[in-house]
Amino acid sequence: MAKVTFLPSGVTCEVVVSDYPYGDHGRPGSLLDIAIRYGVDLAHNCGGVCACTTCHVVVKSGTEHLSEMEEDEEDRLDRAEGLTLQSRLACQAVVEGTGEVVVQVMTTRAQAGGH
């Protein structure tokens, strides 16, 4: 079992990899997939297909429990506001195995202008 904590809401979700996918937004088992399943406010204007940066998060800890960043995500992140070395797109970062991941949500749906 993995644990994912979303800041600033402080919501912690316990997830089991074999239960993926939870929905149809983002890659199965992505931070976005998990956020939607557990009611975490996380903007995703493109529907989770790596076509925007509204689901930008900063990984505070647990990077080793996330999938490797692929070229499409890296290219898209270059356009994200507030980009850091720990930035990921929640729609692309898949939680793998067990462990704890803590992420800071950078944009809420209200800030992004909808869903």
Average pLDDT over residues 63-81: 95
State the Cα–Cα distance between residues 60 and 20, nearest whole angstrom: 23
Of the chain, the percentage scoring pLDDT greater than 90 comes to: 81
Closest among 102, 62, 58 to 81, alpha carbons compared: 58
- Where in the sequence is the domain holding 51, given as residue range(s)? 2-112
Whether 115 has a pLDDT exceeding 50, the answer reads: no
Whether 113 has a pLDDT exceeding 90, the answer reads: no
pLDDT at 94: 96
**CATH at 57:** 3.10.20.30
* 85 contacts: CB under 8 Å, gap ≥ 6: none
The count of domains in the chain is 1
- CA distances to 9, 10, 43, 60, 98 from 46, in Å: 23, 25, 9, 24, 29
Q: How confident is the model over 76-112, as pLDDT tens digits?
A: 999 999 999 999 999 999 999 899 999 999 975 555 5
CA 14, distance to chain mean position in Å, is 15
